[in-house]
Amino acid sequence: MIVPQSFRDQPRWRSDGTAWLDSLADRFHQQCEAWDVQPDGKPWHGSNALVVPVRRGNQPFALRLAPPDDRTRGELAALGFWAGRGTVLQHEADPAAGASLLERLDGDSSLQKTDLEPAAEVLGQVMRRLAVPIDDPNVPSTSGIVAARLAELEPDWRATGEPFDRSVLELATSAGESLMGITDAVAVNGDLHHDQVLPGDREPWLVVDPVLLQGDISYDLARCLWWRLDEMPDDRTIRSQLARIARAAGVDHDHAVAAVIFRTVDYWLWGLRNGLTEDPVRCARLLSGSA
């Protein structure tokens, strides 16, 4: 198995180094032996993981390999929790190796290639589908995450030179305070966007690489808008997308708007603190179209 150059070119390896990448071919063959599977096609990848089509006899699977860090262990645990309920089905998992054996989906297709309006409907339906009951004190709550970030907004705003009017900061603070009261005992995907929703056979659409949280299913609605913001020509389209997702998810419209406002300003300030230049500009546009 040859590691694609496009995977080697991902930004992560500039800071993490290439030791894991250089060992990836050997790791792949070791997992194939451990799980008795054989390569069955060309690999595909995102920014953090390589996925290779494999086969055991006549049964197709996908072998996913990622660095065995906390993020990967969390993703494997999340797939174990959802157990195929709206997510790709995980047949085997080896957290120490950062490996999982998944049901095979089409890695060349995703909601990214679906028109905006039907894609918005699917995203809302997926949010609702993933909202299965959960009762685990070890799973982070959206209300706790929001509360922690709320305390940092004004210090970040000052540290970045007060990059927008105080009224925007106050709007985000008010929105965050309203979100802190959402403590529903349901599962939430904390990393939902178009590229991570693929067509499936068991269910029309299935999520890959989820991050397990609990509480407010609209927590990541801003990311859903952000992901294809450049395809939205005006504020009217942004508002329409927001409304479609919220309606399909069964989320109150004002609640959805508050979630988008808070997460957008949150990311805006985080981006400035971390030296980003293009993303804060896009945050300003998303806020303008949503608020």
> Which structural domains are found in the chain, ordered by start?
5-103 (3.30.200), 111-290 (3.90.1200.10)
Q: Label residue 145 by pLDDT band (50, 70, 90).
A: very high
Place of tokens 């927590």: 219
**At a CB cut-off of 8 Å and minimum separation 6, what does 271 contact?**
279, 280, 283
Measure the CA angle with vertex 163, ends 151 and 180; round to 5°. Answer: 25
pLDDT for the residue 163: 96
Task: Measure the CA–CA gap between 129 and 85, rounded to whole angstroms.
Answer: 7
pTM to 2 decimal places: 0.92
pLDDT for the residue 181: 87
Strands 212-214 and 187-189, sheet pairing? antiparallel
How do residues 235-288 score in pLDDT, each as one tens digit?
A: 999 999 999 999 999 999 999 999 999 999 999 999 999 998 899 999 999 999
* AA letter at 198: L
The candidate with the shortest Cα–Cα distance to 175, out of 258, 291, 289, 263, is 258
The candidate with the shortest Cα–Cα distance to 133, out of 89, 83, 184, 180, is 184
Q: If DSSP codes are grouped into helix, strand and coil, which group holds residue 241? A: helix
Considering the chain, what is the average pLDDT of its residues? Answer: 95
How do residues 88-126 score in pLDDT, each as one tens digit?
A: 999 999 999 999 999 999 878 899 999 999 999 999 999
